[in-house]
């Protein structure tokens, strides 16, 4: 099927062939550069999954690891075809799921920080003060009797 722009997974629908422009069969994506084979690889999109199928003797790597077998692509994978053609795989539906997961983890982290801050507040000497005067002065309930005794003896 080749390259489609108006789709949930833009640019990849069905089977997309990648290779040189001078290949015996016309490729959907033509690449130039060292290490690119006439028919370099096939990218298949079916049922929400995208796999890269390298052709024999074609130089393909995903995230720095050479591949020779069909490999499923996931959001953010870095694909190297030949020696110089590098791409970052973007799957909009996977990216949306990752954003939701990241937001959820961020919300949990914020809740933990908030509860931790509250715990620190309630454990601090300032929060144990019983009167508004001691809150304002920063003195605790333990300090108050001694201050009262001193002021009474000074009079």
Q: Is residue 26 part of a domain?
A: yes
Same domain, 81 and 109: no
Domain CATH number, residue 54 = 2.60.200.20
In the chain, the number of structural domains is 2
Same domain, 104 and 67: no
pTM higher than 0.85 for the full model? no
Model pLDDT for residues 10-27, shown as the tens digit of each residue: 456 789 999 998 767 788
Same domain, 66 and 83: yes
Same domain, 30 and 77: yes
Specify whether the CB–CB gap between 153 and 147 falls below 8 A.
Answer: no
Same domain, 83 and 121: no
The DSSP-derived string for 57-96 is: T--EEETTEE--S-EEE-TT-EEEETTTEEEE---HHHHH
Most distant pair of Cα atoms in the chain: their distance: 108
Same domain, 82 and 101: no
Which range of residues forms the domain containing residue 96? 92-126
| Paired tokens of 83 | 């020696």
Burial of 39 (0-12, 13-18, 19+ CB in 10 A): middle
Model pLDDT for residues 50-63, shown as the tens digit of each residue: 999 999 999 999 99
């Amino acid at each position: 099927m080749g390259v489609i722009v108006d789709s949930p997974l833009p640019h990849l629908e069905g089977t997309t062939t990648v290779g040189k422009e001078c290949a015996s069969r016309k490729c959907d994506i033509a690449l130039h550069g060292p290490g690119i084979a006439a028919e370099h690889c096939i990218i298949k999109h079916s049922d929400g999954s995208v796999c890269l199928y390298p052709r024999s003797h074609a130089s393909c790597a995903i995230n720095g690891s050479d591949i020779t077998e069909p490999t499923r692509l996931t959001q953010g994978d870095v694909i190297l075809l030949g020696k110089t053609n590098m791409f970052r795989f973007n799957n909009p539906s996977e990216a949306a799921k990752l954003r939701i997961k990241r937001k959820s983890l961020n919300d949990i982290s914020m809740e933990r920080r908030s509860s931790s801050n509250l715990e620190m507040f309630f454990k601090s000497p300032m929060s144990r003060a019983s009167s508004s005067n001691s809150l304002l002065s920063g003195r605790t309930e333990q300090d108050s009797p001694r201050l009262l005794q001193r002021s009474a003896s000074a009079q």
